[in-house]
Amino acid sequence: MDFVGKNIIVTGGAMGIGRAVAEGIVRGGGTAIIADIDMEAARKTKQELGDLAHAVQMDLGDPRQIRAVMADIIRDFGRIHAVVNNAGIVSTGKFQEISQEEWERVVQVNLTGTFTVTSALFPHMKENGGGRIVNVSSVAAKLGGGLLGTAAYAASKAGINGLTKAVAREGGPFGICCNAVCPSFTNTAMTSVLSENEERKQAVINAIPLRRRAEPQEIANMILFFASDLASFVNGEIGDVDGGITMDG
pLDDT digit of tens for each residue in the chain (249 aa)?
999 999 999 999 999 999 999 999 999 999 999 999 999 999 999 999 999 999 999 999 999 999 999 999 999 999 999 999 999 999 988 999 999 999 999 999 999 999 999 999 999 999 999 999 999 999 999 999 876 779 999 999 999 999 999 999 999 999 999 999 999 989 887 776 655 677 778 888 898 999 988 999 999 999 999 999 999 999 999 999 999 999 986
The number of beta carbons lying within 10 Å of the beta carbon of residue 28 is 18
Burial of 17 (0-12, 13-18, 19+ CB in 10 A): buried
Cα 151 to Cα 145: distance, rounded to the nearest angstrom: 6
Element (H, E) at 226: helix 216-227
Catalytic annotation present for 153: yes
Instruction: List alpha helices for 38-179, DSSP H.
Output: 39-49, 63-77, 100-107, 113-127, 140-143, 151-171
User: Of 3, 115, 153, 226, which one is the catalytic site residue?
Assistant: 153
Give the whole-angstrom CA distance, residue 57 versus residue 40. Answer: 9
CATH of region 7-241: 3.40.50.720
Task: Spell out the residues 6+ positions from residue 81 whose beta carbon is closer than 8 angstroms to its own.
Answer: 6, 7, 8, 131, 132
- The whole-model pTM stands at 0.95
